[in-house]
Amino acid sequence: MPKKMMKKEEKSMEIKIEKSKTKKSALKKLGMEEEILKKKLFFEPNLKDYEKTRKIFSWKKTIKEFSKHENLNAAYIALDKHIKTWRKNKIALIVEDENEKIEKLSFLDLYRLSNRFANLLKDLGIKRKDRCFIFLPRVPEVYIAFYGIIKNLGIAGNIFAAFGSQGLKDRLDDSEARFIVTNGELKKRIYEAEPKNIEYIIDIDGDVNKESKYHEINYKEEMKTKSSYFEIPKTSLEDYCFMLYTSGTTGKPKGVVHAHEALLVGMLTADWVLDLKDEDIYWCTADHGWVTGTMYGILANFALGATSIIYNGRFNAEKWYSIIEKHRVSVWYTAPTAIRMLEKEEEIYKKYDLSSLRHLCSVGEPLNPEPIKWGLKAFGLPFHDTWWQTETGGILIANYPCMPIKLGSMGKPIPGIKADIVDDKGNVLKEYQLGNLAIKPSWPSMMREIWKNEEKYKSYFVKGWYITGDLAYKDKDGYFWFVGRADDVIKTSGERVGPFEVESALVAHEAVAEAAVIGKPDPLRGEIIKAFLILKKGYNPSKELEEDIKQFVKNKLAGHAYPREIEFVNSLPKTRSGKIARRVLKARELGLDVGDISTIEEY
């Protein structure tokens, strides 16, 4: 059993479970009393009976039904199909920015604009499977570009706008992207990154440099000249659709590739879990640079015909509530850190009319009982936890509106998905035993490939199971409980960060000789990034140097992936082969027993 990354209470829980085998006392220890939430339902949920649906569900039948669509391209299913219905003039997207500028686009607007963009790319010579990245803040062009790319059967890649030149370079070079869509401001970082394979930079602000070594394309001018009609080529469920870079313990980020078929899981879960209906105003707070913002911000939400809202700005409690009030948001998909940030500003919610909210969901980090209880107090509704990963493409474990919530549990696998807890050899464990959360392959939104890295792809599988990298256990009722990560991946404010990427950025600083990075538990952000640094000769620890290093990583790697805490040290624990033993640093930081360190040396 992977014990290395467990927090104190998780460890004590495990001991309790192993010793007493009584789950009740162990759960109590964690403060996770088996409280069943009795909630008022103001609406008829889409999924009426979880157990019954699970019993009769068949992928074969569902895929057959899905395949009846005129075209299997995700852009057709999410967008174009609505043009033939009454939804044509319905508002698909509302975008509000920090200055309260509001833009509204109907399904027809999005259809026409994405067709123009598809023609623009076609004229530039985009080919099937060509990688085209979107490096933009939350503006309508993200949606227009995404659909335009996949209509051409290109692979759309979303990159979080907080990434700096190095973060960008790693992603663009590994994917060998030919196209990138950006704005005047972010374009500077592309030039700093000097990507090797980029041929075209499409600038939505249109301020293009004709002398550039890349071809700069004036989006505004070009879009005017393109036709708003585009025929999507015949697409198969297996054609590649989008890719997102995500982090593991080792090495640079990996490109997770999804096929057009992934939308099927997105649609089923947007129906069963997010409970989206035609009349909903839906707000997914995740950025499109993360998988939630892609699958449930660009694809599945549109496919179900709901009106979606995006806010292009920084977190601000007043602003968030005003968005819900002003646009009458009814379904809200957010993350525990955001909920905790709202909770911190306790009384503000009382100033707003939030009565339009009818269903709340959460993802990305453990949703502890506390934010659920606070949600009940503030909104009169519980947050429903959902579990999934970039690799799984869609929600796989969830709490459904029709099912009682157990506070602190991720819920149960969606119909069609078999999840279980297995040991490191892939043997299924018993109820309440802590182990690896594993999923039985395969399902339609399962990643199709790790870009050009078959070895990495294969490493996810053990004895016929897809191993998620999460530690969890299952209770007697089939509910799953998240306990921690089995590896060194950091989740800070719900955003996934690999320690290696941060360490690489740190050692590029002139003063840093060696660096090790861990996720340190944080009451607000879930985890924060903490770095242990050995300085080069001639440099001394100081507050100024600390600040300089933080700023350096923000600029070079990403605004969200810098160490909020730095400790200067004289040595680091390493294995005999010279690898940094992050588990030892983490255990020390948490005041835990460091375990067997016979193979660890300090230097």
CB of 237 to ligand WTA, least distance (A): 22
3-state secondary structure of 587: helix
Contact between 366 and ligand WTA by CB under 6 A: the answer reads yes
Nearer to ligand WTA, 11 or 496 (CB): 496
CB of 383 to ligand WTA, least distance (A): 10
Nearer to ligand WTA, 389 or 493 (CB): 389
- Taking CB under 6 A as the criterion, the residue among 296, 388, 432, 457 binding ligand WTA is 388
CB of 335 to ligand WTA, least distance (A): 9
Nearer to ligand WTA, 219 or 479 (CB): 479
CB of 121 to ligand WTA, least distance (A): 28
The single residue listed with the structure tokens 């799984």 is 392
Contact between 496 and ligand WTA by CB under 6 A: the answer reads yes
Nearer to ligand WTA, 182 or 386 (CB): 386
Q: How far apart are CA 146 and CA 56, in angstroms?
A: 35
- Pair of tokens at residue 47: 């999924």
Q: How far apart are CA 587 and CA 570, in angstroms?
A: 18
Assign 3-class secondary structure to 106-171: EHHHHHHHHHHHHHHHHHHCCCCCCEEEECCCCCHHHHHHHHHHHHCCCEEEECCCCECHHHHHHH
- Taking CB under 6 A as the criterion, the residue among 106, 166, 235, 389 binding ligand WTA is 389
Q: How far apart are CA 567 and CA 585, in angstroms?
A: 11
Nearer to ligand WTA, 105 or 363 (CB): 363
Name the burial class of residue 348, with classes exposed (0-12), middle (13-18) and buried (19+) by CB atoms within 10 angstroms of its CB: middle
Contact between 372 and ligand WTA by CB under 6 A: the answer reads no
Contact between 241 and ligand WTA by CB under 6 A: the answer reads no
Contact between 482 and ligand WTA by CB under 6 A: the answer reads yes
- Taking CB under 6 A as the criterion, the residue among 285, 301, 334, 390 binding ligand WTA is 390
With DSSP H G I counted as helix, E B as strand and the rest as coil, what are the percentages for the chain, rounded to 5? 35, 25, 40
CB contact at 8 A, 95 and 139? yes
- Write the DSSP symbol of residue 84: G
* Count of positions on this chain that bind ligand WTA (CB under 6 A): 23
Cβ neighbours of residue 148 closer than 8 Å, sequence gap 6 or more: 114, 115, 116, 117, 118, 120, 121
Nearer to ligand WTA, 5 or 202 (CB): 5
> Please, which residues bridge with residue 332 across strands?
283, 360
Which listed range, 35-43, 156-164, 205-213, 382-390, lies at the site for ligand WTA (CB under 6 A)?
382-390
Residue 421 CA from chain centroid, whole number: 23
Q: How far apart are CA 523 and CA 509, in angstroms?
A: 29
CB contact at 8 A, 301 and 275? no
Q: Cβ atoms within 10 A of the Cβ of 214, count?
A: 17
Give residues 410-449 in contact with ligand WTA (rule: CB under 6 A). Answer: 410
- Taking CB under 6 A as the criterion, the residue among 485, 509, 550, 560 binding ligand WTA is 485
Tell me which amino acid residue 260 is. Answer: H
Which listed range, 1-9, 157-165, 387-395, 504-512, lies at the site for ligand WTA (CB under 6 A)?
387-395
In the shown chain, the binding pattern of residues 282 to 301 toward ligand WTA, with x for contact by CB under 6 A and - for none, equals: --------xxx---------
Nearer to ligand WTA, 34 or 567 (CB): 34
Q: At what angle do helices 59-66 and 262-272 cross, to 10 degrees?
A: 100
- Taking CB under 6 A as the criterion, the residue among 277, 491, 550, 583 binding ligand WTA is 491
Give residues 442-471 in contact with ligand WTA (rule: CB under 6 A). Answer: 468-470
Looking at 144-262, which runs of residues are DSSP E strands?
Answer: 155-158, 179-182, 200-203, 215-218, 240-246, 254-259
CB of 256 to ligand WTA, least distance (A): 8
Q: Which single residue brings its beta carbon nearest to ligand WTA?
A: 390
CB contact at 8 A, 314 and 287? no
CB of 191 to ligand WTA, least distance (A): 28
Please give the backbone phi and psi of residue 191, each rounded to the nearest 5 degrees, phi first: -65, -40
- Taking CB under 6 A as the criterion, the residue among 80, 170, 275, 365 binding ligand WTA is 365
Which listed range, 132-140, 235-243, 304-312, 383-391, lies at the site for ligand WTA (CB under 6 A)?
383-391
- Taking CB under 6 A as the criterion, the residue among 230, 379, 387, 432 binding ligand WTA is 387
Which listed range, 48-56, 360-368, 447-455, 497-505, lies at the site for ligand WTA (CB under 6 A)?
360-368
Summarize as ranges the residues that interact with ligand WTA (CB under 6 A).
Answer: 246, 290-292, 363-367, 385-390, 410, 468-470, 482, 485, 491, 496
